[in-house]
Chains A and B, each alone.
Chain A
Amino acid sequence: NAGVTQTPKFRVLKTGQSMTLLCAQDMNHEYMYWYRQDPGMGLRLIHYSVGEGTTAKGEVPDGYNVSRLKKQNFLLGLESAAPSQTSVYFCASSDRGRTDTQYFGPGTRLTVL
């Protein structure tokens, strides 16, 4: 039981490049979330999904897109990376309706030059 895993762990992009971050969970959770963590800002919600095929915007969605084609996977895309998107990205999942507890992955450290 791996819990929540994230790929890749580290990535460096040039401004304007695109990439996709992958989150996978093996807990059969319905809800999945993408957060970013910046120094002095705390964790902020980017997008979330309440089930397969659904997505919704969080607090800071601009510049990101997401997809949830399979229940266990949640993808975060950057179409045209900007230096302001340099951050640590965390994925989380929860089994809403039981404990609501969100379990987090290990994070992806992204640098945009």
Chain B
Amino acid sequence: EDQVTQSPEALRLQEGESSSLNCSYTVSGLRGLFWYRQDPGKGPEFLFTLYSAGEEKEKERLKATLTKKESFLHITAPKPEDSATYLCAVQAQGSQGNLIFGKGTKLSVKP
């Protein structure tokens, strides 16, 4: 069964304190791994897509990496505006584009 597990469930950081969020997955052939950001009361906002092990993508203070079993979202010198829930999802080969989501990591960055 295809599955996505995110850890930790919640993470509290001080402004400037770098850290990483983990997304472990099992899927019958990975087509793509997606990271989204979700603010309270809003829809998920697309951040990154990773397609193969070893791939990395960056956007401002965020960097996503991918191995054959997991992905990391590294946050460098976070700011309070980075506070949000970060969602990881996988898309399996042969699927109709369906995404399987993890439960998310709620990040709080205190000034």
Contact = CB atoms under 8 A, between A and B. Distances in A.
A50 B102 CA distance: 23
B98 A33 contact: yes
B62 to A, nearest CB: 16
B101 A42 contact: yes
Contacts, number: 57
Interface in A44-98: 44-45, 48, 50, 56, 58, 90, 94, 96
Interface residues of B, number: 22
A50 B97 CA distance: 9
Contacts of A50: 96-97
Contacts of B75: none
Contacts of B91: 100
Contact of B102 (A33, A42, A94): A42
A101 B57 CA distance: 15
B2 to A, nearest CB: 10
B54 interface: no
Majority-rule SS of A interface residues: strand
Given A90-B44, A107-B42, A102 B99 contact: yes
Interface in B82-98: 87, 89, 91, 96-98
B97 A96 contact: yes
Contacts of A102: 34, 46, 97, 99
Interface in A1-54: 4, 31, 33, 40-45, 48, 50
B49 interface: yes
A103 B96 contact: no
B78 interface: no
B63 interface: no
A42 B88 CA distance: 10
Question: A31, A104, A106: which has the most chain B beta carbons within 10 Å?
Answer: A104
